[in-house]
Amino acid sequence: SLQATATAHNLTLSTLPDRNPGKYTRHTYYQQRQLLTSEEEDFLAEWILEQDRQGLPPTHICACEMAQKIRRTHSDIKPL
């Protein structure tokens, strides 16, 4: 039963239906909704830090524009 399984694995009963086949974990769900890949986010973060090291920290708008430029490398882009 679900209750016995939840108890055996120290889970709340409400957690189990979310783990049925076809359901995503919260991490997977949000990962699929990300506009940039992890590598692209790392690139953007490094670009921001490099701009700061040069004494030119980018504004929020400038960082968003750079994110858009990075996204344009995708074939399935949608505007932010």
Look up residue 34 and give its amino acid. Answer: Q
Summarize pLDDT for 62-78 with one digit per residue, the tens. Answer: 999 999 999 988 756 56
Residue 14 has pLDDT above 80, yes or no: no
- Output 57 or 22, whichever has higher pLDDT: 57
Instruction: Supply the pTM of this predicted model.
Output: 0.58
Sign of the C-alpha dihedral computed for residues 40, 36, 74 and 54 taken in this order: negative
Q: What is the mean pLDDT of residues 14-23?
A: 66
